[in-house]
C-alpha cells in the first residue's frame, strides 16, 4: 500500500510506531502530487522546502505530530501566498498565521500546500478560480464542487492526508460529496475565523475535509475552541470528538425533512440516499418525518445576506497596500475603479454589485432586513425539528458532479447546487457529508454524498452517527483510478 493512500489516523499511527518518519511521509506526498496534480490542478502553491525543515524536527508524540495538512487558499499561513484564487491578491504573502494554523502547529501538524478554490470562496464548482479550474479525480471532465474544490479533490486523489476548507453555504460539504470524501462544517462559533479571509462573516466557518469520519474528529479536536481574537467564537466546551466514536446508535432519531425529498433531485441521488436511510434503520436508528417549511426561501435569503456581507468585506481590496494594482491610472478614483475591475473575476463582481444593491438606500428594508427576518424563521425550523430528532438526514447535493463548463453561463442554476446545504449556514448548525454510494455516467463512477445535520455545538453526536454508517459500509474504501 502506498503511503499516500493512508488516512490521517493511519499515518499518525505509523509515525508514532516508528514505521515511517515525517520526512518519508512528506517526500511520498511530494512525489504523489508531482505525478497526479497536473491532472487535477488541486494546488495553487506548495512549499516542501519549509515543510521538510519542520518535518526533520517534528515531535511525533503530539496528536498530529509530523502529519502534513493541506490548506485552502483563503486561510492565512505566515510567509505563504494567500490569494483566495484571485488576481487581485497575486503576490501577497501572509504576515501571520490564522488561529487554526497556530493550533495545528501546536499539535505537530505541518502545513505545506495551498489548495485551489472558487475566487474568494464564491462558487460551487471551483471554475471561478483565476488560475485554473480544479478537476474531479473520479472524472476529470467534471467539476469537484466548490468553493473548497481543491481541498476535496486533493484528499480524494490521495494528494493530501487531510485538508482545511471553509464553508459559507456548503463549500465544504458539497465538494466532499462530489469527490467522495468526508466534509465537516462545524457550528458557527465552534472554530475561530481569525485569519480566514472573510466572504460573509455571519456564515463562514472553517472545517476539515478528510478520508474518514475519525480523521475529521481528530482535526476538529485540534482546531475547535474559543479564541480571544475572534469575537464570534463561543466559549462552549469542546469534548474529545475522536474518543466519542464507536458503539451502537440504536434508538437515535433521524429526521427526514420532506422539503429535501422533492422533484428535481437526480433519481440516482434520491435512490442512493434513501438506501442509506434504510441502512440506518437496520443499525437501529428511528426515522422520523419532519418539516422545515421555510426551506424554499433559503437560497434567496442566502444570496441576499451573503452578497451584502461580501460587498462590505471585499471593499478593503483596492490595490493600495498590497496585491494587484492597475497600471498608470490617471487619478485615485481611476486607480480604485480599474484595480477592482481588472482584479476581480466575473462572479465576484456579480456578487459585489448585488450586495451593494440590497444594502443601498431605499432597498435595505425591502431586501436585507427582510432576509434577516426570514433567516430567523429558517433557524426556528431547525430548532423545532431538533425537539423531535437527534439529527437530520438528507442529500448533500441534488445531483452528482456535472461537466466542466456546463453551467458557466447559467448562474441561477449554479446557485441551486447548494440548495440542501445553505440552510445549515443560515441557522449556524453543524453538518457533515459522508460518502454513501455512486452514480454511473459516461462509464465513470461519480460519488454521492449523504448529509447529516446536527444541533448547534452537537458535533460529537453528529460524528458518532456518521461514523456508525461509515464503519458498517465500504464506501470509504473506494478510490478514484488516477
Within-domain flag for 473:
yes
Tally of domains within the chain: 1
- Report CA torsion sign: 305, 311, 316, 322: positive
The CATH number linked to 81 is: 3.90.1300.10
Paired residues of 430 in beta bridges: 454
Count of residues making up the chain: 482
Instruction: Tell me the average pLDDT across 295-303.
Output: 95
Tell which wins on pLDDT, 228 or 409: 228
What per-residue confidence (pLDDT) applies to 410? 83
Q: Name the grid cell of 227.
A: 479564541
What per-residue confidence (pLDDT) applies to 416? 83
Q: pLDDT tens for residues 159-199?
A: 999 999 999 999 999 999 999 999 999 999 999 999 999 99
Contact call for residues 143 and 123 (beta carbons, < 8 A): no
Instruction: Tell me the average pLDDT across 84-88.
Output: 98
Q: pLDDT tens for residues 71-85?
A: 999 999 999 999 999
Where residue 123 falls among pLDDT bands split at 50, 70, 90? Answer: very high
Where residue 449 falls among pLDDT bands split at 50, 70, 90? Answer: very high
d(CA 221, CA 223): 6
**For residue 1, pLDDT beyond 80:** no
Within-domain flag for 182:
yes
Q: pLDDT tens for residues 341-394?
A: 999 999 999 999 999 999 998 899 999 999 999 999 999 999 999 999 999 999
Within-domain flag for 128:
yes
What per-residue confidence (pLDDT) applies to 54? 97
Paired residues of 403 in beta bridges: 142
Where residue 208 falls among pLDDT bands split at 50, 70, 90? Answer: very high
Q: pLDDT tens for residues 400-447?
A: 999 999 988 888 888 888 999 999 999 999 999 999 999 999 999 999
Where residue 52 falls among pLDDT bands split at 50, 70, 90? Answer: very high
Q: Is 350 exposed, middle or buried (0-12, 13-18, 19+ CB in 10 A)?
A: middle
Within-domain flag for 304:
no
Where residue 146 falls among pLDDT bands split at 50, 70, 90? Answer: very high
Within-domain flag for 314:
no
Within-domain flag for 194:
yes
Q: Domain range holding 208?
A: 3-254+386-477
**For residue 46, pLDDT beyond 90:** yes
Within-domain flag for 472:
yes
Active site residues: 72, 147, 171
Average predicted confidence (pLDDT) for the chain: 97
DSSP one-letter string for 260-302: GS-TTS-HHHHHHHHHHHHHHHHTTPEEEEE--TTGGGHHHHH
Within-domain flag for 285:
no
What per-residue confidence (pLDDT) applies to 414? 87
Amino acid at each position: 500500500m502506498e503511503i499516500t493512500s493512508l488516512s490521517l489516523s493511519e499515518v499518525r499511527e505509523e509515525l508514532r510506531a516508528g514505521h515511517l518518519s515525517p520526512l518519508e511521509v512528506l517526500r511520498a506526498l511530494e512525489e504523489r502530487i508531482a505525478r497526479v496534480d497536473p491532472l487535477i490542478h488541486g494546488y495553487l502553491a506548495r512549499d516542501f522546502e519549509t515543510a521538510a525543515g519542520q518535518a526533520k524536527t517534528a515531535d511525533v508524540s503530539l496528536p498530529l505530530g509530523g502529519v502534513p495538512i493541506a490548506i485552502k487558499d483563503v486561510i492565512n499561513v505566515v510567509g505563504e501566498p494567500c490569494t483566495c484564487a484571485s488576481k487581485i491578491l497575486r503576490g501577497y504573502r501572509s504576515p501571520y498565521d490564522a488561529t487554526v494554523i497556530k493550533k495545528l502547529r501546536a499539535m505537530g501538524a505541518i502545513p505545506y500546500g495551498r489548495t485551489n478554490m472558487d475566487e474568494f470562496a464564491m462558487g460551487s464548482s471551483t471554475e471561478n478560480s483565476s488560475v485554473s479550474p480544479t478537476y474531479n479525480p473520479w472524472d476529470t471532465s467534471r467539476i469537484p464542487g466548490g468553493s473548497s474544490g481543491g481541498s476535496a479533490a486533493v484528499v480524494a486523489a490521495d494528494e493530501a492526508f487531510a485538508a482545511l476548507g471553509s464553508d459559507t453555504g456548503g463549500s465544504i460539504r458539497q465538494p466532499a460529496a462530489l469527490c467522495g470524501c468526508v466534509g465537516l462544517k462545524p457550528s458557527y462559533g465552534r472554530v475561530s475565523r481569525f485569519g480566514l479571509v472573510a466572504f460573509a462573516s455571519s456564515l463562514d466557518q472553517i472545517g476539515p475535509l478528510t478520508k474518514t469520519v475519525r480523521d475529521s474528529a481528530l482535526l476538529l479536536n485540534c482546531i475547535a475552541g474559543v479564541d480571544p481574537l475572534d469575537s464570534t467564537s463561543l466559549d462552549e466546551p469542546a469534548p474529545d470528538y475522536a474518543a466519542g466514536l464507536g458503539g451502537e446508535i440504536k434508538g437515535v432519531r433521524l429526521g427526514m425533512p420532506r422539503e429535501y425529498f422533492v422533484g428535481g433531485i437526480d433519481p440516482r441521488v434520491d435512490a442512493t440516499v434513501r438506501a442509506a436511510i434504510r441502512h440506518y434503520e437496520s443499525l437501529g436508528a428511528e426515522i422520523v418525518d419532519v418539516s422545515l417549511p421555510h426551506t424554499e426561501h433559503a437560497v434567496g435569503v442566502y444570496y441576499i445576506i451573503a452578497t451584502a456581507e461580501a460587498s462590505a468585506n471585499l471593499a478593503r481590496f483596492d490595490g493600495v497596500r498590497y496585491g494587484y494594482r492597475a497600471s498608470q491610472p490617471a487619478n485615485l478614483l481611476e486607480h480604485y475603479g480599474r484595480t477592482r475591475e481588472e482584479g476581480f473575476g466575473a462572479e465576484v463582481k456579480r456578487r459585489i454589485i448585488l450586495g451593494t444593491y440590497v444594502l443601498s438606500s431605499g432597498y435595505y428594508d425591502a431586501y436585507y432586513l427582510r432576509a434577516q427576518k426570514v433567516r430567523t424563521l429558517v433557524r426556528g425550523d431547525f430548532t423545532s425539528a431538533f425537539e423531535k430528532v437527534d439529527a437530520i438526514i438528507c442529500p448533500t447535493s441534488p445531483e452528482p458532479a456535472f461537466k466542466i463548463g456546463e453551467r458557466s453561463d447559467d448562474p441561477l442554476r449554479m446557485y441551486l447546487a447548494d440548495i440542501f446545504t445553505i440552510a445549515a449556514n443560515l441557522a449556524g448548525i453543524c453538518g457533515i457529508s459522508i460518502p454513501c454510494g455512486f452514480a454511473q455516467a459516461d462509464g465513470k463512477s461519480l460519488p454521492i454524498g449523504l448529509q447529516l445535520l446536527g444541533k448547534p455545538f452537537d458535533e460529537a453526536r453528529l460524528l458518532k452517527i456518521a461514523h456508525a454508517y461509515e464503519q458498517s459500509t465500504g464506501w470509504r474504501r473506494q478510490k478514484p483510478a488516477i
